[in-house]
Amino acid sequence: MRINRFSEEMIKRFGEKVYRIPLSAGCTCPNRDGTLGTGGCAFCSGSGSGEFSFPDIPISEQIRKGKELLAGKTDARRFIGYFQSYTNTYGDQNRLRQLFLEVISDPEICALSIATRPDCLEEDMISFLSDLSGIKPVWVELGLQTANDETARAMNRCYEREAFDSAYKRLKKAGLEVIVHIILGLPGEDEEDMMRTARYVSQLKPEVDGIKIHMLQILKGTALGEEYEREPFRVLSLEEYTDLVIRIFRMLPESTVIHRFTGDGPKKLLIEPKWCWEKKKVLNYMNKEIARA
């Protein structure tokens, strides 16, 4: 089976390999600061669903350090400025606009990627991002995780699918590229629930630009981690997960770019599934199965 891989798509688009530099906008999340809740989503670690190394320094320094780190391991020359952790459109809108502009103005940054919640996208911010996308590509990454509101409530996501529908439509109308995140293996969801989420994403109109598929990682220090230690629940095996991922690939429009299909959670916090520890082995197995499918 051929899939539209992120790495290949970037070469097609930018003529060479590009690397993500994780950046911090210094945001929090309405699901953490008391606006909607304080505990966050049940699966989210204190780092807001992302690992970041230099959160407290100016953005230009973050970019410089990110490039420096990559230079030690790769021949990277072009980068994606990636605001990954927490809700990166939440907070002082002027300050955020300045940050995004500064990142996109870096000559070696070829795209800007902003992860956020669908209920934190004001019209002015969407219109600003749309203007920025006239300079370089701007991707908005929306954490849906599941299309099933019942599971979302159990996970304390604190927004309903309707909010996602509305944000998706507004972003696409503004001409922005949208990447949707989903999680497989959420407690209480069976195969049919997960396929329902996949079907929902694959039937979005206009077609979804990109997807990140994650295996649920149960982490220490999260509500889900505590629940699991109290009362363990079944987690997907690598084989089951791979099978579901392949079924999702079959459903998605051909044009959808697969940005990720494995997890990259913090190893030191991972409780289950233990197979996620062996990232290389997991990738080899999955790639072999995808090629055979």
Tokens of 71: 């230079």
Cβ-based neighbour number of residue 135 at 10 Å: 11
- Amino acid letter for position 291: A
User: Crossing angle of helices 59-73/93-105, nearest 10°?
Assistant: 40
Look up residue 274 and give its amino acid. K
Query: Which lies closer to ligand SF4 via its Cβ, residue 106 or residue 119?
Result: 119
User: Which residue, 117 or 259, is less far from ligand SF4 as judged by CB?
Assistant: 117
Shortest reach from residue 257's CB to ligand SF4, in Å: 22
Specify the residue, 153 or 250, whose C-beta has the smaller distance to ligand SF4.
153
How many other C-beta atoms are found inside a 10 Å radius of the C-beta of residue 26? 16
> Which is nearer to ligand SF4, 62 or 116 (by Cβ)?
116
User: 9 Cβ partners below 8 Å, 6+ apart?
Assistant: 257
As a whole number of angstroms, the distance between CA 142 and CA 117 comes to 6
> Radius of gyration over alpha carbons of the chain, in Å?
18
Single-letter residue type at 235: V
Smallest gap from residue 138 Cβ to ligand SF4 (A): 19
Rule CB under 6 A: which residues touch ligand SF4? 29, 31-32, 40-41, 44, 48-49, 86-87, 117, 143
Judged by beta carbon, residue 149 or residue 278, the one nearer ligand SF4 is 149
Closest separation between CB of residue 67 and ligand SF4, Å? 26
Residue 89 or 256: which CB sits closer to ligand SF4?
89
Closest by CA position to 109, among listed 87, 85, 76 = 76
Name the 3-class secondary structure at 71: helix
Report the alpha-carbon distance of residue 260 to residue 274 in Å, rounded: 19
CB of 141 to ligand SF4, least distance (A): 10
- Give the Cα separation of 63 and 109 in Å (integer): 9
Shortest distance in whole angstroms from residue 99 CB to ligand SF4? 17
CA angle 26, 44, 225 (to 5 degrees): 145
Min CB(293)–ligand SF4 separation in Å: 30
The distance of closest approach from Cβ of residue 117 to ligand SF4 in the complex, given in angstroms and rounded to an integer, is: 5
Quick one: 86 or 249, whose CB is closer to ligand SF4?
86
Closest contact distance (angstroms) between CB of 214 and ligand SF4 is 11
CA torsion 212-80-62-31 (nearest 10°) is -30
Complex with ligand SF4: residue 32 or 172, whichever CB lies closer: 32
